Chains A and B, each alone.
Chain A
Amino acid sequence: GAGVSQSPSNKVTEKGKDVELRCDPISGHTALYWYRQSLGQGLEFLIYFQGNSAPDKSGLPSDRFSAERTGGSVSTLTIQRTQQEDSAVYLCASSLERDRKGGYTFGSGTRLTVV
């Protein structure tokens, strides 16, 4: 697609429920990143995909967080047994592998609220 698409744009969930966040990167972008942005905390790296594999998942905060990518395209970030501290904006970004042209292209994010 023309840009990075994320869905849903907003999600309100009850504490303890599981949620799935979707990212559709720019066509042809093999590098895909997930970040989390909390109020006043800046962008926190979660996980990086190269194609369908995740060589760097060092930013996932706990084993309740997991992500997968299929077909070298769409990625899903899953949060199990959500907690209130998981409330944040989850941003997905993509880029080319060999030339990032300066930076990634971000989606508009999914605003997650855990009540």
Chain B
Amino acid sequence: QKEVEQDPGPLSVPEGAIVSLNCTYSNSAFQYFMWYRQYSRKGPELLMYTYSSGNKEDGRFTAQVDKSSKYISLFIRDSQPSDSATYLCASSISNFGNEKLTFGTGTRLTIIP
């Protein structure tokens, strides 16, 4: 079993819809949770970063962590065709650079105009 599980999709939704992307994890020591966005033929870029449980909002994006159920979510409101990308969740125990991130396999998202 992978430490971070993510449904690979693909997921297609119409423009303007709310998108929900999810991951589960098994390591209860994880404290830091990230979402990366990866456009085709580009490297992943950090989209959202949260510590412990709770919500974090940035524009149209909301990251949610529920440590009791080991569930990580990313919500995208008013989805745009430019949001079409692969979204990867990642987790770690610390915020130190000497600890590698554990990634999910990524969910490919397409927003249909």
Q: Are B98 and A42 in contact (CB under 8 A)?
A: no
Task: Report A97 CB to chain B, min CB distance, Å.
Answer: 4
Question: Which B residues touch A4, using CB under 8 A?
Answer: 43
Distance of B16 from chain A, by nearest CB (Å): 29
User: Does chain B have a CB within 8 A of A95?
Assistant: yes
Q: How far is the CB of A68 from chain B (nearest CB, A)?
A: 18
Of all chain A residues, the one with the shortest Cβ separation from B50 is: A102
Asked if residues A33 and B100 are in contact (CB atoms below 8 Å), the reply is yes
Q: Is B101 an interface residue (CB 8 A)?
A: yes
With contacts A40-B105, A42-B106 taken as known, whether A102 is within 8 angstroms of B49 at the C-beta atoms is yes
Asked if A50 is an interface residue, CB under 8 A from chain B, the answer is: yes
Interface size on B, residues (CB 8 A): 24
What does DSSP make chain B's interface, helix, strand, loop or mixed? loop
A109 to B42, CA, bound (A): 7
Residues of A close to B6: CB separation below 8 A: 42
Q: Are A42 and B43 in contact (CB under 8 A)?
A: no
Shortest Cβ gap from A8 to chain B (Å): 13
- Most central of A31, A40, A42, A56 by chain B CB within 10 Å: A42
Enumerate chain A interface residues (CB-CB to B < 8 A).
4, 6, 29-31, 33, 40-43, 45, 48, 50, 55-56, 91, 93, 95-109, 111
- Report which B residues bind A (CB closer than 8 A): 6, 8, 32, 34, 36, 41-46, 49, 88, 90, 95-98, 100-101, 103-106
